[in-house]
Structure 1
């Protein structure tokens, strides 16, 4: 049997699956460059009946704020992901060690945070009254630094994929716990680090609620919050115009086109990052899932 030949049904299936993944992005793009009147009359279409870039021109009117928000979001994402990976991996590695005396209690505490939370008001008071990070970049970084789900995934990877004998050998050779962690554990954990890193990147990049709660300074707005605020302003202006000129024809704001244009503006960097992390992403989810 020739194993080099690929089943044509697999090729057809993967092609259809790839097309199903690409079509939504194409639909969003076509709506973003479509005339709002055509979208209202004919609904969504995979090909614009009339190309109109008014939505992008609307966003470019506030290009300085968008570029500044891009910078804030990129900075917060880079710092947040780096610190989050360090804290998450350190905690997960500690929980994976069977000789750690408080392993069970601390694991339960991490799991408990996935089921219950203190609520919005205590969460707000901790960061504003006790930590005093309101209207600072720390307010955008600290809330997303660590998550129980990420810790448990990484702990499972360490438990099933890092042989205890490797750690014992390092200790016999005189390596300290810190040396073992930085020189042996982390280099062997690239798949799970890339997986959790991708989760964290998406979480930080798409976060708009934290800016809504903690940020009043317009120079510190994240990209997602700024775009969301822009859309709400456009909808508000349209509602006022409809009420003021209810008996006469008014020029409609391209709300649907603006919404799709904002999605295209916001999703760009994530589309560029994912291909570089894809192979680690798949391996990180599968290697730690089955005990060898």
Structure 2
């Protein structure tokens, strides 16, 4: 009796499956282990790190790095709140504005489609430079030392607009829009109740990347904020690190601290890791909310079988 193989054409062998899983496990470990190392070093003693180097298990457990950072805890909490507000508000407004721009230029019946598409594409290739960009926000719009200055420059990305336009043009059936028009729906109602619910994968993908852009940004605080009142967390950590490096390498500063009441060893290595933990902590918890749509949104424009 001839044994008929029930193997499907797309099935892979057990050996191939093992090596594929092994590759993914190694890749996962390469992503997770550095993060674990950063966390463990942040809870290590500064002297043990300088003597023994970085270890996954702390030689001497210590909270000195976090105690050093939270000596100015009101400023840290304020910067934390500013970063969260800017990230949430900026991402929400950004996704709405970019989708409202991308949807009309994805419609074939929009007469000025090519003009607005070229205008957006042109900004991907050319810009006016740093000085005119700064003068527009500080002189013309008068946004210096405001939180609006931390939101507006990152509000629209030409690359994300093109991704949204591609999704709208290739995924939303024109017949669906025509049927909604026949039923008497306005353009705004079609966009809000039909287009946006069907576009959750690409909207979530763009929202995730915009969340990362807003959360990791420190340059806008450096350029537009002169005091400590409206600085975000990333710039506060950046400035703290520069201050620590200055105190650790400047002999006159060390002598001044000694004369003022005794010099203490600054936790340069461990505090750097502690700042990384504070910086990446909240953003790690944002990913699970987008994970459901993330993979599907990244396949925009892929060839469908």
Give the TM-score taking structure 1 as reference length. 0.92
Partner of 1:16: 26
- The match for 2:248 among 226, 234, 238 is 238
Separation in structure 2 between the aligned mates of residue 236 and residue 176 of structure 1, nearest angstrom: 61
| Pair 1:92 & 2:105 matched | no
Partner of 1:137: 147
Partner of 2:72: 62
Deviations 1:156-194 (A, max 9, x none): 111111111111111111111111101100010110110
Q: SS where residue 299 of structure 2 aligns? A: helix
Partner of 2:258: none
Q: CA deviation at 1:31?
A: 1.8
| Pair 1:109 & 2:122 matched | no
- The match for 2:266 among 250, 253, 256 is 253
- The match for 1:166 among 143, 157, 176 is 176
Deviations 1:268-291 (A, max 9, x none): 111111012112111111144446
Asked if the contact 2:163/2:300 (under 8 Å) is kept, the reply is no
Partner of 1:265: 278
| Pair 1:225 & 2:235 matched | yes
Separation in structure 1 between the aligned mates of residue 297 and residue 75 of structure 2, nearest angstrom: 37
Q: CA deviation at 1:244?
A: 5.3
Q: SS where residue 26 of structure 2 aligns? A: helix
Q: CA deviation at 1:27?
A: 1.2
Moved more, 1-10 or 150-159: 1-10
Deviations 1:97-130 (A, max 9, x none): 1111221222122112112211111111000100
Match runs of 1:136-215 below 5 Å: 136-215=146-225
Segments of 4+ moved more than 6 angstroms: 2-6
Moved more, 260-269 or 41-50: 41-50
Separation in structure 1 between the aligned mates of residue 59 and residue 252 of structure 2, nearest angstrom: 26
Larger CA Rg, structure 1 vs 2: 2
Q: CA deviation at 1:153?
A: 0.8
Separation in structure 2 between the aligned mates of residue 256 and residue 54 of structure 1, nearest angstrom: 11
Q: SS where residue 57 of structure 2 aligns? A: coil
**CA, structure 1 residues 148+233, in 2 after alignment: closer, same or farther (shift >3 Å)?**
same
Deviations 1:180-232 (A, max 9, x none): 10110001011011000001100000111101111123121101011111111
Give the TM-score taking structure 2 as reference length. 0.88
Partner of 2:287: 274
Asked if the contact 1:30/1:47 (under 8 Å) is kept, the reply is yes
Separation in structure 2 between the aligned mates of residue 4 and residue 112 of structure 1, nearest angstrom: 46
Q: SS where residue 198 of structure 1 aligns? A: helix
Provide structure 1 residue ranges, at least 5 long, that are not aligned to the other structure.
none
**CA, structure 1 residues 244+20, in 2 after alignment: closer, same or farther (shift >3 Å)?**
closer
How many residues are matched? 289
Separation in structure 2 between the aligned mates of residue 134 and residue 78 of structure 1, nearest angstrom: 21
Q: SS where residue 128 of structure 2 aligns? A: coil
Asked if the contact 2:94/2:156 (under 8 Å) is kept, the reply is yes
Separation in structure 2 between the aligned mates of residue 60 and residue 237 of structure 1, nearest angstrom: 18
